[in-house]
Chain A
Amino acid sequence: MNRKFFSILLLCLWLPVCLVAQSRLDSVQHIQEVLVAAPLATSKAIIPAQQLEGKQLKALNSFSVADAIRYFAGVQIKDYGGVGGLKTVNVRSMGTNHMGVFYDGIQLGNAQNGQIDLGKFSLDNIESISLYNGQKSDIFQPARDYGSSGSIYLKFRRPHFSGQEKEHLKATFRTGSFDLVNPSFLYERKLSEKVNASINAEYIYSSGKYKFRYKRVLPGSNEVAYDTTAIRKNGDIHAFRVESGLYGRTEDGHWEVKTYYYDSERGIPGAIVNNRWMNAQRQWDTNFFVQGGWRKVITDRYDLMLKMKYANDRMRYLNPDTTLMYIDNSFRQQEAYASLAQKYQLTTYWDVSLSTDLQWNWLKSDLEGLVYPTRRSALVALATALDLGPFKSQASVLGTFINENITSVANSDGQAASSAPNKEEITPAIFFSYAPFENHDLTFRAFYKHIFRMPTFNDLYYTDIGNIKLKPEFTHQYNVGFKYAKTMANRSLVHWELQADGYYNEVTNKIVAVPKGSGMYRWMMMNLGRVEIRGLDAVAAATFDLPFEVLLNLKGTYTYQKAQDFTPRKNPDLEKTTWGGQIPYIPWHSGSFIASAGYQSWQLNYSFVYVGERYHNSANIRENYEQPWYTNDVSLLKTVALNDWSLKVALEVNNLLSQDYEVVLNYPMPKRNYKLTLTLEL
């Protein structure tokens, strides 16, 4: 059955290629002519992304991708603190597992727990970060790009050589608080007219030590009840990353191959609780992947894109703390992925596309009682795009077909000794945009998307808590919004823009841990939860060309989210405590503000993040209340030219007001801290 199913899919995948190859033979003369002139299909997202790029990205005092993403509207970061602390992203309150993170065009996977730690990705050499709600509304993309509720695309610097340039060299050194030592190095080389290469390596060490303070006052009198300052320990990290890329152009397309290797050891600083002010858990990660893409214009109407990836991830977790259960577990995940996307232009205003992806995931572990699951996924996306000038529309249908096996049962005599049943889901998305005026850059937009996330391997198979009967967790998203932009010549206000979106999301079949059986905190994963989210995202930006050649950029975001828990409970009394409650860690109000001013070789940046009041669980009672927090960061940059070299010096001060705050309960964040960055570029 499954074999047959996969053969049909394979046929789907390759048949059009064969057909086109044939038709090409018939009209070979014609094609030859057009090929040279045919432009590569450019990205045609009809709802633009929120984007941070270039100078603006550098202006943020951000160390990792997670730090930068805080400046997007609609995004919440869970940050456990410090350089090595776990940082995960949640867009529009649908949960981390609904986010797709794409690394140079191919999704990063974690079939085991579905979480991508964005703290692991440094901003070194990232050219742009884009956030798409729903999906990138571009139909020429792999099927997996249709498969998340929201997507973040990380685009890395690639070599560009002008004139006689043959090589680029960039060396960066960062140091500062937390005993940070962070050298990185980039070398780019033009191998031939058509092929460029780059190699990039980075090392990060930080002791992760910082002072934190817990102060409580007596209600009413504001007299100090206790005021304790301690040092965060076991937050150290040693990480090494090396990446290389080959980038080629052909007459009618381009290709690239990237390899990535990351190796780290870190302490897990853990929760600070009474009488336990440090923890001892350690984690080792080794991540490797190689990925490649190839794009070709086959005819003036037909484009082809092939992408492939192989990833091998190892993780070891050690709890050596003798006051807790000793744990030393290793997990190894592998992923193989191939995608073929095809786009055909039916008329000048109407495109269709078919994308077919195949993916395999494996998980092995020495954890007792854990089975070794294998997941085979086939994704087929059929999409169409209509471009009628002011009115644009795209619609897509994604078919996801999943088959799982367990290849070995390690010491298990329990319930999880069989694999989860096959899953087939068909999910649609539709996007519109309408620009009513020719002379004004005003666009209205709307989208609807229905998608799901698969239960992770942990949800399905983890010893004792796993539940193979889990169904996927679904989301429905409804969004309407607009964008207005205005550019003016010869004015001090050169450009300004405003965009806002209102949305309603539903998460159904939400996978939640339910207490199971007797005592000892045993849980079972169940499809019980339901969340409704009503929200508003707004982004405003302006650029000023001020006297004395001062260039000023301002950007502000605001997010309102009412994310309510409507999970039914058995106990009506208890249901009252959580029904309609704001879900954990989602503030009603949050926002950010960035200002950067450039004067000749100087740049001064200011950034502000505000996260309003929220609760750490969906019983919105006094005991679970969390105060707002906000950080003010300032940095000063100076660029010095030395012959062919340029030297950049940046001094940053983060959390200027030294606010004591927690993003996650009992995980204190650093007070005021500093960083110095030196960048030498040829």
Chain B
Amino acid sequence: MSRLLLGLHCLLLLGALSSCREEVELFSSDEIDLEKPEETTAYRGFYLLNEGNMGSNKSTLDFYDFDSGTYSRNIYAEVNPDVPKELGDVGNDLQIYGSKLYAVINVSNKIEVMDAQTATRIGQIEIPNCRYIQFEGKYAYVTSYAGPVEINPDYTQRGFVAKVDTATLQVVDECLVGFQPDELAIVDGKIYVANSGGYMGAGSSDNYERTVSVIDMESFTEEKRIDVAANLHRVRADQRGDLWVSSRGDYKELPSRLFFIDSEKQAVTDTLDIPVSSCYLSGDSLYVCSVSWSYITYSNEITYAIVNTKTREVVTRNFITDGTDEEIEIPYGVMVHPVSGDIFLADAGNYVTPGMLYCFERSGKKKWSVRTGDIPAHFALLKKD
């Protein structure tokens, strides 16, 4: 009897020793000192938006300060402690316009609007299934998958572009486009929207969208469609106002490709045999990272290319020159410092655990790397005040 009681006491003691539940603390940011960049005149630093896997509510914001070389990880909650459930679920785009920082949080159905210098929350724009954001004048333009539902006879739901007043953060107008519109670019009073049809084509590739919608900004109506290729994703305007559009392909027979739209002719006039996952336009150089699955090797084939947008030629198919490319799992976002030419590359890893941010010299040699949040993806460069 006494032995048993002793045993029970031990058990209870064990219970007492093992930790008890306490109040859950909000995240405070981590600060990591990294190498300072040489060039710090025009820009203060950049924000990096980590997407977070769907349902995890782990979209987080990091900031790299060029002056101090300090990397601050997961700053949103610390700056804005009173926002329930923090930044949100699946960050999809990040832009700075004027004095404000805009983070498009897809599953949270909102665009978080913050002060660009401090990341202090100003408010939010409510847009369901919002994807990408661009600006012109006093308006923001946001693509969304969630247009009106039609049943004739099957369930269909076109996407739209929302016109948002950046002062009031209210949606003032909407323009219907194709199915599942992704990136958009604004050139000469027109919005070019890459329609993907991503929800439609999963079973049959014929159901992907193939077009770029052209919206006339004055009337805010869809003016025409430009046929490109299946499942469009990126659209960027180069220095001459011409457009670079990427297609994801159908992940089966149709490969991912890069297309050139002549904005005068309003038509595709060139195609580059290069797959595109993420890209960044710096001057006339389009930095392109691509990941495509090979059913032959059962692994991802990755390229890091630079396209000269003037000559429309691939300058290199590997801008990483020191062999680091052999180690990167999933390049998911890229940004280039406009002055120094330093290349910042985000590795999303396995999507469910933290990723890694790399900094390379212009020559493609690694300078440093730092752990990020889950699925680091979107950069926004912050100019000095």
Contacts and interface: CB of A to CB of B under 8 A. Distances in A.
Interface of A: 214-219, 222, 225-226, 228, 270-276, 322-326, 328, 367-369, 410-415, 463-464, 467, 469, 491-493, 496, 498, 512, 514-524, 526, 540, 542, 554, 556, 558, 569-574, 577-578, 589, 591, 593, 610, 612-613, 617-619, 621-624, 627-630, 659, 661, 665-666
Nearest to A567: B350
B252 A558 contact: no
A518 B54 contact: no
Interface string B139-155: 00000011001000001
B81 A276 contact: no
Given A218-B26, A610-B18, A617 B276 contact: no
Contacts of B290: 518
Given A491-B1, A516-B300, A226 B57 contact: no
Nearest to A519: B277
Contact of A274 (B85, B129, B293, B355): B85
Contacts of B20: 628, 630
A569 B329 contact: yes
Interface in B72-108: 74, 77, 81-89, 105, 107-108
Interface in B95-124: 105, 107-110, 124
A514 B199 contact: no
A216 B54 CA distance: 22
Nearest to B331: A518
Contacts of B48: none
Contacts of A661: 21
Given A226-B83, A228-B84, A591-B15, A275 B204 contact: no
A275 B108 CA distance: 5
A628 B313 CA distance: 57
B355 to A, nearest CB: 7
B280 interface: no
B82 A225 contact: yes
A574 to B, nearest CB: 5
A296 to B, nearest CB: 45
Interface stretch (B3-11, B169-177, B218-226, B262-270): B3-11
Given A217-B23, A219-B28, A574-B356, A368 B57 contact: no
Contacts of A270: 55
Given A322-B128, A369-B203, A578-B353, A415 B89 contact: no
A522 B249 CA distance: 13
Contacts of B107: 273, 276, 324
A216 B80 CA distance: 12
Contacts of A412: 203
Contacts of B37: none
Contact of B24 (A410, A591, A593, A627): A627
A619 B50 CA distance: 16
B352 interface: yes
When A and B form their complex, which 6 residue pairs have the shortest distance between CB atoms, in order from nearest? Answer: A368-B203, A274-B88, A518-B277, A273-B89, A323-B128, A225-B81
A413 B354 CA distance: 35
Nearest to B348: A515
A577 B84 contact: no
Interface of B: 1, 4, 7-8, 11, 14-15, 18-28, 30, 53-58, 60, 74, 77, 81-89, 105, 107-110, 124, 126, 128-129, 145-146, 149, 155, 157, 198-199, 202-205, 233, 248, 251-253, 256, 275-278, 290-293, 295, 298, 300, 327-330, 347-356, 369, 371, 373
Given A273-B107, A326-B157, A518-B276, A572 B291 contact: no
Given A326-B199, A368-B204, A275 B105 contact: yes
A273 B108 contact: yes
Contact of B1 (A216, A493, A577, A624): A493
A368 B353 CA distance: 30
Contacts of A515: 291, 300, 329-330, 348-351
A410 B149 CA distance: 26
Contacts of A464: 202, 251
B267 to A, nearest CB: 25
B84 A413 contact: no
Nearest to B377: A519
B146 A413 contact: no
A415 B349 CA distance: 24
Contact of B350 (A217, A498, A514, A542): A514
Contacts of B129: 323-324
B202 A368 contact: yes
A276 B108 contact: yes
A492 B21 CA distance: 36
B79 to A, nearest CB: 12
Contacts of B21: 627-630, 659, 661
B105 A413 contact: no
Contacts of A469: 298
A597 to B, nearest CB: 15
Nearest to B124: A275
18 contacts: A214-B85, A225-B77, A273-B108, A275-B85, A411-B203, A413-B252, A463-B202, A464-B251, A493-B4, A514-B350, A518-B276, A523-B351, A540-B11, A574-B329, A574-B353, A591-B15, A613-B19, A623-B27
A497 B332 CA distance: 57
Contacts of A496: 4
B60 to A, nearest CB: 8
Contact of A612 (B19, B54, B88): B19
B203 A558 contact: no
B182 to A, nearest CB: 9
B55 A325 contact: no
A573 B89 contact: no
Nearest to B30: A622
Given A274-B87, A518-B277, A519-B278, 5 more contacts: A414-B251, A464-B251, A515-B349, A517-B251, A570-B328
Given A274-B87, A322-B157, A577 B105 contact: no
A653 B310 CA distance: 73
Contacts of B348: 515
Contacts of B371: 573, 577
A171 to B, nearest CB: 39
A322 B146 contact: yes
Contact of B353 (A219, A322, A619, A666): A619
Nearest to B3: A496
A218 B8 CA distance: 38
A470 to B, nearest CB: 10
A629 B356 CA distance: 32
A617 B11 contact: no
Contacts of B275: 518
A215 B24 contact: yes
Nearest to A576: B371
Contact of B56 (A467, A518, A665): A665
Given A516-B293, A542-B4, A627-B21, A411 B204 contact: yes
A108 B354 CA distance: 37
